[in-house]
Structure 1
Amino acid sequence: MQAAVTDHRADVAVLHLQGELDADTAGQLHAVLADLLERPVPRIVVDLSSLKFCDSVGLSAFITSKEVISARGGWLSFAGANQFLAQLMENVGLGRYFAIFPEVDDAIAAAQI
Structure 2
Amino acid sequence: MELKVSSRSHGDHTIVTIVGEIDLYTAPRLQSEFTRILDESTTTLMVIDMSGVEFCDSTGMNVLLSAHKRLRERGGVLEMAGPRPAVRKILQVTGLDSVFTIHEAVPEELLAAEPQA
TM-score relative to the length of structure 1? 0.87
In structure 1, the partner of 2:29 is 28
The alignment's C-alpha RMSD in Å is 1.7
- Equivalent pairs counted in the alignment come to 108
Residues 1:93 and 2:95 are matched in the alignment: yes
Check the 8 A contact 1:21/1:54 in 2, yes or no: yes
Q: What's the CA shift string for 1:38-69, capped at 9, x where partnerless?
A: 22344210001111111000110011222221
Identify if the C-alpha distance between structure 1 residues 108 and 89 changes in structure 2 by more than 3 Å, giving closer, same or farther: farther
Q: Which amino acid is the alignment partner of residue 87 of structure 1?
A: K
Check the 8 A contact 1:26/1:57 in 2, yes or no: yes
Instruction: Map residues 72-83 of structure 1 onto 2, 5 A cutoff.
Output: 72-83=74-85
Identify if the C-alpha distance between structure 1 residues 107 and 36 changes in structure 2 by more than 3 Å, giving closer, same or farther: farther
| Alpha-carbon distance in structure 1 between the residues aligned to 2:82 and 2:69 | 24
Check the 8 A contact 2:14/2:43 in 1, yes or no: no
Instruction: Map residues 1-113 of structure 1 onto 2, 5 A cutoff.
Output: 1-7=3-9, 9-38=10-39, 39-105=41-107, 108=110
| Alpha-carbon distance in structure 2 between the residues aligned to 1:92 and 1:45 | 20
Check the 8 A contact 2:11/2:43 in 1, yes or no: no
Check the 8 A contact 2:44/2:76 in 1, yes or no: yes
TM-score relative to the length of structure 2? 0.84
Q: Which amino acid is the alignment partner of residue 28 of structure 1?
A: R
| Alpha-carbon distance in structure 1 between the residues aligned to 2:67 and 2:81 | 17
CA positional deviation for 1:106: 5.3
In structure 1, the partner of 2:115 is none
Check the 8 A contact 2:51/2:81 in 1, yes or no: yes
The percentage of counterpart residues that share the same residue type is 25
* Structure 1 stretches of at least 4 aligned residues deviating more than 4 Å after TM superposition: none
CA positional deviation for 1:6: 1.6
Which runs of 5 or more structure 2 residues have no equivalent in the other structure? 112-117
